[in-house]
Amino acid sequence: MRSDPPANAQGWRERARAFALRSVDPVAEAIDREDRVPEEIVRGLAEEGFLGLGIPPAWDGTGADTRSTVAVLEELSRASAAVGVLVAVHLSVCAAPILTWGTDGQREQFLRTLARGERIGAFGLTEPNAGSDTASLATRYVREADGFRLNGTKTFISNAVSAGVVLIFATSDPTRGHKGISAFIVPPGTPGFSVAQRLDKLGLRGSETTELVLTDVRLPPSSLLGAEGDGLRVALGALQGGRVGIASCALGVAEAAFAEMLGAVRADDAEWKRTILARSYADLCSARALVARAAEAKDAGADYVNDASVAKLVASRAAVQIAGAGVDVAGPRGVRSGAAAERLLRDARVFPIVEGTTEIQELILARSLLPNPPGRNPL
């Protein structure tokens, strides 16, 4: 039974922190070791309303603004990055695009069950030879009299093993570049749709990462999300929001790594340890401020492209730096398998890659800042 939603972001943070301490912290090491998020945790996420964040109550969501969502993702990720990323992907790059681009019929069929946590959402964009370069998609679709037919392969797709809804991006003609890309809502179980393999990873273990194969997957006309040719706009809009969510997850990992470090450093320790602690604190404060700024800009309806990219860039970098420093401070204990410092470092190292690499964020920022007309301050 879902609980009544909190009234503000602080209430959501307290709810997420209590859930994480009660249900996630005790099994965080097992999630990493077994590469699986237990079903009872997923049910708990639904019961707490976390899987309906940002979705209006009219579609069975729990509402809440971006500041509330990032607070939840941050607290969940402090306990387990895999749990935080599961929720972030479900909300940002599956439910949100259906809310924004879907018809009422699509929202009725898919969004309600996503909001209630009866289905988990996934996002099928990346391919073996097309990651950040979305114009290089090789997955093809053909329009037929009764709908569409899709063929292709997707890889590094989060949540796909358990997903009840997957957004798939395909092109009608690779020579048309982004103009040929369309987005489709594909329920797993559709004939020709299969999970080819689950990929083993350095970090974010427990977060399902898979390769998908589509072989003559036939879909009705109602599966098209937006209009034909809108696929890149759908994908980029989803990724922009997704970067705020992933930045929040990275922030949670950075906070967990800092807490581990803080518990290992004493006032009379060597100066280098105290210096690392101070530098890590500064990195953490920077990441926290930028994630908050991105969430506030999104809630205000402002153009938050730069805010999302810089938050993702700095938070993922902070997670790696603080987690790495935490292993240094912990010494031999920190590199042992099963140690929190070791797990956090492996988890942190994934964040500069997912939802757009560090290089992509730098490119987005550089393009927006240059050329800079005289008299215009980019800040």
344: which residues sit within 8 A by CB, 6+ positions away? 253, 256, 257, 260, 323, 326
Q: Which among 209, 222, 90 is positioned nearest to 147, based on CA atoms?
A: 222
375: which residues sit within 8 A by CB, 6+ positions away? none
> Hey, is 153 helix, strand or coil?
strand
Q: Are strands 163-171 and 120-124 parallel, antiparallel or unpaired?
A: parallel
* Catalytic site residue from 296, 355, 359, 362: 355
Is residue 48 among the annotated active site residues? no
In this structure, are residues 154 and 125 in contact, taking their beta carbons and an 8 Å threshold? yes
Q: Which among 274, 280, 257, 275 is positioned nearest to 346, based on CA atoms?
A: 257
- The whole-angstrom separation of Cα 232 and Cα 177 is 10
- Phi then psi for 263, rounded to 5 degrees? -75, -15
Q: Which among 244, 327, 209, 257 is positioned nearest to 78, based on CA atoms?
A: 257
> Which two three-digit tokens encode residue 218?
């036939």
For the chain, give the number of residues. Answer: 379
- The whole-angstrom separation of Cα 166 and Cα 176 is 24
In this structure, are residues 344 and 253 in contact, taking their beta carbons and an 8 Å threshold? yes
Supply the residues annotated as catalytic.
Answer: 355
